[in-house]
Amino acid sequence: MIHPRNDFEDAGQGQVFRFFDDLPAAPQDALTREASGVDLSEVSRLHETLVRNPGAGNEALADELQPAEFIPLPRNGGDAARWEEAFETGEAALRAGRVAAFTVAGGQGTRLGFDGPKGTFPVTPIRKAPLFQVFAEKIRAASNRYGKPMPWYIMTSVINHEETVDFFERHGYFGLGPDRVHFFSQGLMPAVDEEGKILLAEKGRIALSPDGHGGSLRALVRSGAIDRMEADGIDTISYFQVDNPLVRCLDPAFIGFHLLGESEMSSKALPKAYPEEKVGVFCRNGEGRDVVIEYSDMPERLATERDDDGQLRFRAGSIAIHVFDRDFVKRLGAGDDPDAVLPFHKAHKKVAFVDDAGKPVEPDSPNAWKFEMFVFDALPFAKNPVIIETAREDDFSPVKNAEGADSPKTCREDQLRQFARWAKAAGLPVEADKTGLPSVAFEITPGFADTEERFVERVSGMGNEKPVIVDEAVIDDPNP
Ligand code: UTP
């Protein structure tokens, strides 16, 4: 085998091996392995096309944008019979064992600043159950209801893979069984300096970081997860992020709309709360394809435009909840079709590196370019994309930041509001303020009920043993 050092030198990236000869054998091997995983022509193409010659802005294209169509909730004018049909179709698919849950958990979670994989963050109000546990309990609840042990695929990255797997082992896979939880690591991309030179994080280590949540599609293929799904009769993948404990991991109506629409990729949308809200927006481009336009790329005049009824015209916000057709992921993830390739995006970041003299440098302003793929960029390649409306309070309260919006505090309060709503719907006495926040903190576990309907049904069957809502109450099922 030709040593990758030669290729790096030929590509003008010889600096990666600058300290190689001084390294002991084990770090030399490690660096060689890391270097073998780098696609040098991809790195050079991305630097050339995204950094050196980024091309004109997309203002002209923005002129062609229209709002994407979506299926409204019944309470906002959607056809209730169609929602019912979708629900039943989704339930049938779940019962038939056609669906896998899929969590992308390879991110670095820098904004939250939590020490550990984000999925291990204690998120629920009373039990302080970690995010992974909440999803596991929801998947377990669905498995019990539909009589099929649903598999769960979790994408990690080298940064958190071992810690994540250890966490599941230590917690007995939260009752799911190791044969049902499948971990795989996503791809990595090197950070480059202004000149496109690959940076070294240490003398024997390339500055690599995960290739974005869009990297999940090729990682599903490269890891063999897609083949495994095929062998197990799974054709539908329910995709969600690790940071959102409200998400309905396996939502029958959503899965049903996806299947009824013969869609390759379906998405949930929620009405943006205000024009500046930092979520991408579902739009239809000039070629008639649905796309997600990032909030930073959305021209202000479009972001603030209103319909006659005063609603934002471009209001369908993307919340990173999707259903994928397995063969679509296989097609896109394999990367064989030059007309269906996820683009990379650049991000200017602070990246610690070692300089020419081997001295570690901690930059205090962005010094490097990182390249990432975004999963929503798959949308324009999908046949029959389906977008359905969801309600924020039922599906979305992510933990992104240590404080302020989308923080542990807002997420805790949104969970409490959901529990209070369910309790009220079941006729239990709960006091709440005008935002719906209850005066006492309590928690309903997914093992007891994972939807409002289920909660109401269980409570109404409980006679005199109904749960009492007091501070720190945990409404749980001892035998979920
Ligand atoms: P975010 O865009 O919120 O990024 O990821 P992050 O890395 O978690 O957090 P910051 O930006 O560093 O603060 C959204 C979802 O996509 C996953 C994350 O784990 C999260 O579930 N993700 C992101 C990946 O799986 N891989 C990536 O490379 C990036």
Ligand 1 touching residue 151 (CB < 6 A): no
Indicate whether 113 belongs to any domain: yes
Q: Do both 362 and 421 map to the same domain? A: no
- Quote the pLDDT of residue 463: 85
CB 319, CB 395: distance < 8 Å: yes
> CA-CA distance, 179 to 144, in Å (whole number)?
17
Q: Do both 376 and 476 map to the same domain? A: no
Ligand 1 touching residue 213 (CB < 6 A): yes
Select from 354, 386, 406 the last residue of a domain: 406
Encoded amino acid at 314, one letter: F
Q: Do both 170 and 264 map to the same domain? A: yes
Select from 406, 436, 458 the last residue of a domain: 406
**Token pair listed for 141:** 């609840």
3-state secondary structure of 417: helix
Select from 406, 433, 463 the last residue of a domain: 406
Closest of 408, 343, 459 to residue 129, by C-alpha: 408
* Beta strand 443-444 pairing with 474-475: parallel
Q: Do both 359 and 381 map to the same domain? A: yes
Q: Do both 356 and 434 map to the same domain? A: no
Mean pLDDT, each 10-residue run in order, the chain (480 residues)? 87 97 96 94 95 70 88 97 98 98 95 95 98 98 96 96 98 95 96 97 96 97 98 98 98 98 98 91 95 89 92 96 98 90 93 96 96 97 98 96 97 98 97 97 97 96 91 87
> CA-CA distance, 265 to 381, in Å (whole number)?
9
Indicate whether 183 belongs to any domain: yes
Indicate whether 295 belongs to any domain: yes
Q: Do both 185 and 63 map to the same domain? A: yes
Give the containing element (helix H, strand E) for 101.
strand 99-104
CB 154, CB 181: distance < 8 Å: yes
Count the Cβ atoms, other than its own, within 10 Å of residue 461: 9
Q: Do both 357 and 422 map to the same domain? A: no
CB 270, CB 395: distance < 8 Å: yes
CB 238, CB 323: distance < 8 Å: yes
Residues 6+ apart with CB under 8 A from 432: 417, 420, 424, 438, 439
CATH of the domain at 121: 3.90.550.10
Q: Whose alpha carbon is nearest atom 28 of ligand 1?
A: 212
Q: Do both 85 and 174 map to the same domain? A: yes
**Is the pTM above the cut of 0.75?**
yes
Ligand 1 probe mutation, 239, 242, 351, most atoms within 8 A of CB = 242
**Token pair listed for 127:** 């039990």
Give the containing element (helix H, strand E) for 405.
none
Ligand 1 probe mutation, 158, 243, 350, most atoms within 8 A of CB = 243
Indicate whether 423 belongs to any domain: yes
What's 190-237 look like in SS3? ECECCCCCECEEECCEECEEECCCCHHHHHHHHCCHHHHHHHCCCCEE
Bridge partners of residue 147, in order along the sequence: none
> CA-CA distance, 292 to 340, in Å (whole number)?
16
Ligand 1 touching residue 243 (CB < 6 A): yes
Q: Give the domain extent around 472.
A: 414-480
Ligand 1 touching residue 124 (CB < 6 A): no
Question: What value, to the nearest 5°, has the Cα angle with vertex 222 and ends 218 and 227?
Answer: 105
Q: Do both 254 and 366 map to the same domain? A: yes
Number of domain units in the chain: 2
- Quote the pLDDT of residue 1: 56
Under DSSP, the state recorded for 320 is E
Count the Cβ atoms, other than its own, within 10 Å of residue 154: 24
Indicate whether 109 belongs to any domain: yes
3-state secondary structure of 345: strand
Count the Cβ atoms, other than its own, within 10 Å of residue 412: 21
Q: Do both 182 and 210 map to the same domain? A: yes
CB 185, CB 161: distance < 8 Å: yes
Q: Whose alpha carbon is nearest atom 4 of ligand 1?
A: 107
Ligand 1 probe mutation, 154, 241, 397, most atoms within 8 A of CB = 241
Indicate whether 11 belongs to any domain: no
- Quote the pLDDT of residue 84: 98
Q: Do both 392 and 422 map to the same domain? A: no
> CA-CA distance, 409 to 30, in Å (whole number)?
41
Indicate whether 38 belongs to any domain: no
Q: Do both 382 and 470 map to the same domain? A: no
Indicate whether 171 belongs to any domain: yes
Tell me how far the alpha carbon of residue 424 lies from the centroid of ligand 1, in angstroms: 35
- Quote the pLDDT of residue 344: 95
> CA-CA distance, 11 to 197, in Å (whole number)?
10
CB 392, CB 114: distance < 8 Å: no
Tell me how far the alpha carbon of residue 104 lies from the centroid of ligand 1, in angstroms: 8
